Each structure stands twice: as C-alpha cells, then as structure tokens.
Structure 1
Amino acid sequence: MPLPPFASPSDPALDLHVIDPSGLAGWQAEQPDHIGQWLDTLGFTGALGQAHLVPGATGAPALAVVGYGTADTRARGRFHLAGAIAKLPQGIYKIAHGLPPEHAEVEALGWLLAGYRFDRYATQSPMLASLQAPAGIDTDALYAIASGEALTRDLINTPASDMGPDDLEQAARDLAMRHGARITVITGDELLAQNFPMIHTVGRAANRTPRLIDMTWGDKGPEITLVGKGVCFDTGGLNLKPGASMGLMKKDMGGSAAVLGLAHMIMATGLEIQLRVLIPAVENAVAGNAFRPGDILTSRKGLSVEINNTDAEGRLVLADALSYAQESNPDLIISMATLTGAARVAVGPDLAPYYCDDAAFCAALENAAQHHADPVWRMPFHTPYEAMIEPGIADLDNAPKGGFAGSITAALFLRRFVDTSTYAHFDIYGWQPSDAPARPKGGIGQATRALLNTLAEMTKP
C-alpha cells in the first residue's frame, strides 16, 4: 500500500507532548493537577517508548504524551517517535512540546516510514495514527525520501518467483516512466555481442535471461553513476549453498533495489545532477551450462578472472557494469551490493560498510549519515591485500582462499575496474532481521539517505 502522507495542517489534531525523564516534573507542574495524577497512575516516567492518551475534564482525550527517554537510551536506536505509534489510537496528532528542533526531520521521517506495509500477498492493517508535520519541515522532500525507501523495501521483499531479471527491468522501466528518464536494456546473447561477457556467464544457466539495465536522467550538474547488484536469486551456482544459507537469497538483488530507491529520491527531489543507473540483472542458477569452479573468464575490461567459487558471482556482474560506467568517465561512481558475508560478520546488519579513498566524499557522507539517522562505517581499501586477489594463472581471483578479509578483497576486486572516477563501494546487508521502530522485519535500504544528502552537498555552489 502507498505510504500514508502527513495529515493536513488544517485538520483538527490532538496535541502530542514529547517528554524526557528530566523534563517530566517541570512539564507536569504546568499542567492541571488531574493530568499529573493520571500519568502517575499509569506509571509514566518519560521512558523511551511510553505513550498514553490523557483525558480532559469531560473524559474526552485532551492530549497525548510519549516518552523520549534519556540521551543515552536514544543513542541505542533511532526513529524514537515511530516506536510509540502502535500504542496510540486512531487520530491526528501534532507535536506541541518537547521535540528538539534538530530531531524534527528525522522523527517525522520515522513516522512516515512506520506507515510502510508490504501487502502484495496478504492484507496488512494500516497505521492508525497520523501526524501533522512539524513546522519548518520540507514535507515534499521527506515524502520523496520515504517513498524511495518504500520502493527499495518492496523490491527486496518480493520473492524471486515475482522478482526475476525481467521483473527488475520492469521496475526500472516504471521508475523511468514516472520521472521522464531514458532507459535501454541489453538482454541475453546481445550481452556477448556488446562485450558484457561476465554478466552473460553468470546468468546464462537461468531460464530468465540476464540483462544490463541502463537508465539516465538529468542534463546539468556533476555526472553520477550508480551501479547496483541485481542478482535476483543466488543458489551459489555449482558451489551450491546449503538450504539455510539460501533462505534469504531473494535479497541478493538488494544493491539494485537500493540504487533504484536512491534514484527515485534524486529525481523526485529534483537534485541537479546527471544521473545514470546501471543494473546487471541475473539469476545465478544451476544447469548444464552453468559456469564452473576453475573456469577463467575474460571481463569487459580485458582482465582475466579465475573462478574459484561460483558463489562469488556478484563481483563478476558488477565488474562488467563498472567497466562500462568508467568508459564515460563520470565524476563519481557508486556501487551497492549485498556482496559478502564477511561484511555482515564484521559490522552486523545495522551498519552500511563502505569503501572510498576520497577524503572529502567520506567526510561529507559521514556527516550526512549522522544527521539523517542512516549509519555507515568506512572500511579500508587496504592495498597490501591486492596480492590476495592475484592467483597467478589469471589476472584476478574471484574468491581468494584462506577466509581473510573477505569484504576488503571483494572491494579491491571491484576497484580494479574503475580507473579515473572517484569510486565508492557499499557492501550492504539489505535486511532488517527483527522489527524496530520504522523498520519492520524484511528488506531495507541502507546508506541511501546519507548518499542523497551527500550528493545534494556536491551540487551546492
């Protein structure tokens, strides 16, 4: 279902007071005695996540309160007001007191994101509480951001039966039509004719043909190319995954979902950049023509790659797409992928690890991540590990043995296909393992809001 928008500012609304424990006594002293007595009876302390309606003299609701906790408890999560939504009854609410102005935008976004429901296969109960946007918030921009995140979640949550390479192409075409973008798609054996051999090789065993999706938008500003891994399902190929490891492989196209969500945010907010989105869309399946361990492939760039594990396929399709991206020499290339289990082990599901050697970009990204509740963590392009991805029999090894530094060696592999553009790679998880405020269990975008605001900074004079 579409995200519910902010309530109209002209609608009657109930005052919502945001109260932390240190401010509770002072706030109560300013209220009629019965309000304090009512909250004392309920055990309201201002702790994070508490939410109550308070009746007036006639018994009708007079106001609502939510606990905002201490700074220490808030540091353990984000979107704190969204955590109270399920505890409030149906109605329209407006922030009347207590929300720090510097938190207003993030908390309003969290309220929007809490309205997300994935209802393609089963009816879901809508959110009952509506919010009037706090003063000073750019509601159109915030709704565009939330809608981009919802697109990412929908794409990841859709199972591979309905989200194959052809379905991913259709999602990109729908987005292009919505925003007046241009799109071309190279499909099947035409990939070989146009020199995308590794994309073709990874996807050729599936009954849904591999393809490269190429979308462009905008004619002013810096040239930014987003490259998203679109492995719509990953069996592991001939290095077949065990069943437990295959269960979440519908999310292996999470990189493409993230760049499409980010592209929507960019286009819907009218960011002045020249945007390009490249998505190698494949399914890594098992058949008689599947590529094999020990095979040596030649990439679009001409570098040879020894295949030591067919389950390290994402970097192969990204490599051809990155080479193609570099040929137009954009100012910045950003790749996003659900690429390595090593990154998941290193930083867990909540942080988006990234690689970049441009100090100015990293500083801008980390500042944006902090201010927009979209955490990232910089990992090193550790050049001494380059030898680990050089097998001797070929230029590159797609899966170095030994188990060391798996996320770093994957990033180093990808960096070999970008020569002159500034390059940043995000090795995201793309999945929320359990419910959290504004983040239900399931697919999730990571680093996209931080990237949107970083790109916005790049366009300022």
Structure 2
Amino acid sequence: MSDSLSLSIKWLNSESIDKSKGQDLKAIEGLKAKLSQSTRQINLYVALSDSSISVSEARWLFGRLMDHLKALYPLKAIKLNRGRGVPNHLYEAIALDLSSRKPSVEIQGLGNKVDELQQQAEFEAGYRLWVNEDPSIRTSLQIAEDVMSYAATHESVEALVLGTDELAAANMNLHLAVGGASQKSPPRLVIATYGDPSSEHAPLMLVGKGITFDSGGINVKPYTSFVSMMKNDMGGAALAWHLFQALVASDFPQPLVCVLPTCENPVGEEAMRPGSLVTGHRGISVRIDHTDAEGRLILADALSWASERYSPTEIITFATLTTSALNSYGPFATPVHFANPLMSKKLAEASHYCGEDLHFFPDRVWHREANRDHEADLRNTGRLSGNASGGAGSRNAAHFLRFFTDAPLTHLDIFASTWDWSGQSPSGSRSGATGSPLRTLVRGLNAYVHAKL
C-alpha cells in the first residue's frame, strides 16, 4: 500500500450520510460511516447514529474509528470538512482532537474560527508536553524558568519565584517537607500575575500541584508500571499554567494569579518521615500518615500564603490528587468539588459543548471531619469511619484543602482525565497526557466571569 495516501473526512448528519456513496463500515457501533478510495485518497463520511449521543461519547467513538483506519491505511495527511446541520460544538471538538494527531490536519468549514481553534490546540499541546516531558528535564527549576521567560515577553504579566530560603522564612514547612530531599527538583513556589494592579476587581487565583516526579517517598510506590507514569504528577501545574496563558490570550476581563507549588517527592535521607508532625504557613499542624499523600501538603502552604498575599475573589485548584478519582469515576472524568451554582452551571455547559466530562460534588461536613487527627490538627490521609474507610478518597482530599484558605474554593481532581490510562482517551492521545480538561475550563471560566462581572 502506498505511503502517500491522504484521508478526506466529511462529518454529516444522519440523513445525509444515508445518501452518500461508499462502502458501509460496521466497525464502530454508535457511528455511521462510509468509505470510498481512489489511487491516492480515502474518502470517509461520518455521522452519529443517534442524536442523543453526547459530544464526549462522539469523540470516543470517532477515536475508535480513526484507530481502525490507521491500522488499515498508512495515512500521510488528513482533511476535515462538514456538511449542513452538523452542530458547531461537535465539529469543533472533533477538529481539536484531530489537530492533536499525526499526520498533519487541514480543518475546513469553520471560517474565522480556525485561528481560535489552532491557538487552543497549541495551548493543549503545551499542556501535554509538560506532562509528558522527562522528569529530569521538567523539574521545578525548569517550570520556574519557563514562567519567568513568559513574563519577560508579556507586558501584562509579572512573575515571582520563591526558593527554599523564602519558603522557610514564610514557614511553608509542608512544602519543604515534601521536596526537601531533592536537589534535582527542589521546592519552589512559582507565581504569575496578570492584569492592572490598580483594577477594582480582585483576582481569580489558579493553583496547580507541581510534583515533578512522585516516588511515593518513604512509603514508596510498590507498583512498577504505575510509578513509571508518575512524571504526570505535575499535571495540575501544567494545566493551571496553560490555562493562565489561554485566558491571558483571550483578554480575560478579571485579574489573574497563577500559583505553582512545585518540587519532587523523593526517597532520601532528608525525606519526610511517616508519623512526623509538621506545621505549615497557616499554623495548622499535620501528621504525615503516609508520604504518598504529598500533593495536598504543597497545595496547603501555597493556598494559605497566596490567599493572604493576593486576596482573591475565589480560588480554583488543579491536581492529580488521588487515584480515587480514577477508581471511582472512571478513566475520562474530572470530579469538581465545591463549585458555586453559577460556576457549576457555566462549567457544565462548557463541558457539554467541549465533550469533557465533569462531575460536581458539594461540600459535606463528614468529608471535612474525616481529615481530623488525634495527634495533630489534621492528617494527610483523610478517611471515613467503619466500612466506608476505603472510599471517597478524592472527596476527603479535596476537603483537606478547605482548611487552608477562607476564600471560596473550587477543586478539580484531574488524576483520571489528564492521563490516558486506558489508551482510549477521547482526545486521541492513545498514551500519555490528554490535554483535558483545558478546553472546557477556557470556555467555562470566560463565560463565568463575563456573567459575574
């Protein structure tokens, strides 16, 4: 088979595809597909078999179809177009997913929207690049350097980096406890601000967990295949930073603060010990019940320090915080904790539009109290009592964060959605970082702030 085949895809409505010529493909239930082939080109016509199929499901189904075709044909280039009656949100989601694939993709049928979509694809690519990068390269020092470089070329953005001495002076001992044994990726707090300092509006704060590699610490991770993926534990920082850039590019109407607590969680002589009692910036003591529950510790100090310094209207945290997010909600979903009604509405609408599943959960006192401890104020492994002790890890961990700020807080546990655990992510990544849920957040937060201001 020639290696110069190109693929022309036309997305149609269900009625139109029935009138199209070509061989029926029965490979993927939920899609209607027809295929015709010339010497150098394959023509593919696609439609949903049921209009009730969600955009997230459509993305997943189309990914299966593309995998099927790529196994049969060596494709050099892809061109995407659409027929009448195909909803914008469905077509845009498919176009973005194709833009993340190889080979090259030409998108038609979007008019002036193409440039906006291409910019969004670039932010998603940057997000995936950070998460996929070798952890010996994507260190806390590299994160700090990249943020400082960006600020130097953007007049409306300023950056600040706190090193170990500044962290110690601010009593950010939880952060220092996690990363104190690492020289390769030592503790850093990286901050970027956007907007007019004299603005009448207080900032929206984005906080992202940046554990550049998570060995588990002294409670070392026992599962070899799993620990090899732990370069992704800085996915929260990668998401927060690329969301910050995307919002800046969209002329976001509210000032922004992006806070990235970052280090690695190593094994070493200076590593934190299970059973240690550590008091952080806010004066709350925490018993280190397990060294592999480290993300909430660096977030705790970052939240308390940055809340005092910047007085945000509200805070959104992003973290690959718990395996419970994967075990409880499946491989593609993002649990969202504590979002207020308007934010929940705008994020849910954006989630539906973009095809990235979000699940919303409220504040509940029993999850908050599950973090109390008998020796310290809190422990870093909140558990419910009795037979419920093995569940609700994502919920308990989210409630831990609420102790460290008085500002309204929304938390996204992106452990399941930021990495392609199944090899079948709707994004088409097939391995590594997915880029999710960046597109939902860009759309949803813009809608939220415009509705609020």
TM above 0.5, yes or no, is yes
Q: 2:50 aligns with which of 51, 54, 71?
A: 71
Q: How many residues of Structure 1 are paired with residues of Structure 2 in the alignment?
A: 420
Q: How far off its partner does 1:260 sit?
A: 1.2
Question: Structure 2: which amino acid aligns with 1:266?
Answer: L
Change (3 A) 1:101 1:91: closer
Aligned partner of 2:3 in structure 1 is none
Q: How far off its partner does 1:167 sit?
A: 1.7
| Separation of aligned partners in 2, 1:356 and 1:68 | 37
CA offsets 1:186-217 (integer angstroms, 9 cap, x no match): 11233101332211121111123211001111
| Separation of aligned partners in 2, 1:443 and 1:314 | 19
Change (3 A) 1:265 1:80: farther
Question: Structure 2: which amino acid aligns with 1:200?
Answer: L
Q: 2:17 aligns with which of 24, 29, 32?
A: 24
Q: How far off its partner does 1:144 sit?
A: 2.3
Change (3 A) 1:53 1:236: same
Three-state SS of the structure 1 residue aligned to 2:404 is: coil
| Separation of aligned partners in 2, 1:194 and 1:67 | 58
| Separation of aligned partners in 1, 2:448 and 2:209 | 25
Q: How far off its partner does 1:20 sit?
A: 4.9
Question: Structure 1: which amino acid aligns with 2:314?
Answer: L
Q: 2:441 aligns with which of 443, 451, 454?
A: 451
Of residues 300-309 and 355-364 in structure 1, the stretch that sits farther from structure 2 once superposed is: 355-364
Aligned partner of 1:428 in structure 2 is 414
Question: How do 1:142-161 and structure 2 match up within 5 A?
Answer: 142-161=117-136
What percent identity do the matched residue pairs reach?
30
| Separation of aligned partners in 1, 2:104 and 2:302 | 44
| Separation of aligned partners in 2, 1:175 and 1:71 | 45
Are 1:212 and 2:205 an aligned pair? no
CA offsets 1:380-439 (integer angstroms, 9 cap, x no match): 3221233321112211111135434211111111011121x2210011122012144543
Q: How far off its partner does 1:332 sit?
A: 1.6
Question: How do 1:274-423 and structure 2 match up within 5 A?
Answer: 274-327=255-308, 328-400=310-382, 402-419=389-406, 421-423=407-409
CA offsets 1:291-325 (integer angstroms, 9 cap, x no match): 11111111111111111111111100000001122
CA offsets 1:73-130 (integer angstroms, 9 cap, x no match): 944342766754956653655435453345333233233233xxxxxxxxxxx41442
Contact 2:32/2:49, CA 8 A, preserved across alignment: no
User: CA RMSD for the aligned pairs?
Assistant: 2.8
Question: Structure 2: which amino acid aligns with 1:113?
Answer: S
Contact 1:68/1:74, CA 8 A, preserved across alignment: no
Question: How do 1:249-268 and structure 2 match up within 5 A?
Answer: 249-268=230-249
Contact 2:9/2:79, CA 8 A, preserved across alignment: no
Aligned partner of 1:188 in structure 2 is 164
Change (3 A) 1:177 1:141: farther
Change (3 A) 1:51 1:319: farther
Change (3 A) 1:66 1:313: same
Question: Structure 1: which amino acid aligns with 2:190?
Answer: I
Q: 2:428 aligns with which of 439, 446, 459?
A: 439
Contact 1:185/1:214, CA 8 A, preserved across alignment: yes
Are 1:224 and 2:204 an aligned pair? yes
Three-state SS of the structure 1 residue aligned to 2:59 is: coil
Contact 2:89/2:354, CA 8 A, preserved across alignment: no
Question: Structure 2: which amino acid aligns with 1:447?
Answer: P
Q: How far off its partner does 1:267 sit?
A: 1.4
Change (3 A) 1:273 1:140: farther
Contact 2:363/2:399, CA 8 A, preserved across alignment: yes
Q: 1:175 aligns with which of 150, 168, 173?
A: 150
Change (3 A) 1:133 1:80: farther
Q: How far off its partner does 1:234 sit?
A: 1.1
Output the TM-score relative to the length of structure 1: 0.83
Question: Structure 1: which amino acid aligns with 2:50?
Answer: A
Contact 1:16/1:93, CA 8 A, preserved across alignment: yes
Change (3 A) 1:346 1:144: same
CA offsets 1:261-303 (integer angstroms, 9 cap, x no match): 2112111222222111111111111111211111111111111
Of residues 358-367 and 332-341 in structure 1, the stretch that sits farther from structure 2 once superposed is: 358-367
Three-state SS of the structure 1 residue aligned to 2:174 is: helix
Change (3 A) 1:443 1:17: closer
| Separation of aligned partners in 2, 1:91 and 1:427 | 34
Contact 1:21/1:45, CA 8 A, preserved across alignment: no
Output the TM-score relative to the length of structure 2: 0.84
Q: How far off its partner does 1:50 sit?
A: 3.9
Three-state SS of the structure 2 residue aligned to 1:272 is: coil
Contact 1:189/1:200, CA 8 A, preserved across alignment: no
Three-state SS of the structure 2 residue aligned to 1:260 is: helix
Contact 1:386/1:412, CA 8 A, preserved across alignment: yes
Contact 1:347/1:353, CA 8 A, preserved across alignment: yes
| Separation of aligned partners in 1, 2:78 and 2:438 | 31
Change (3 A) 1:128 1:455: closer
Aligned partner of 1:165 in structure 2 is 140
CA offsets 1:120-165 (integer angstroms, 9 cap, x no match): xxxxxx4144222523x52333222211111110011012121121
Larger radius of gyration: 1
| Separation of aligned partners in 1, 2:94 and 2:181 | 46
| Separation of aligned partners in 2, 1:454 and 1:110 | 19
| Separation of aligned partners in 2, 1:276 and 1:51 | 49
Change (3 A) 1:51 1:168: farther
| Separation of aligned partners in 1, 2:214 and 2:27 | 46
Are 1:239 and 2:219 an aligned pair? yes
| Separation of aligned partners in 2, 1:201 and 1:112 | 41
Three-state SS of the structure 1 residue aligned to 2:161 is: strand
Contact 2:216/2:291, CA 8 A, preserved across alignment: yes
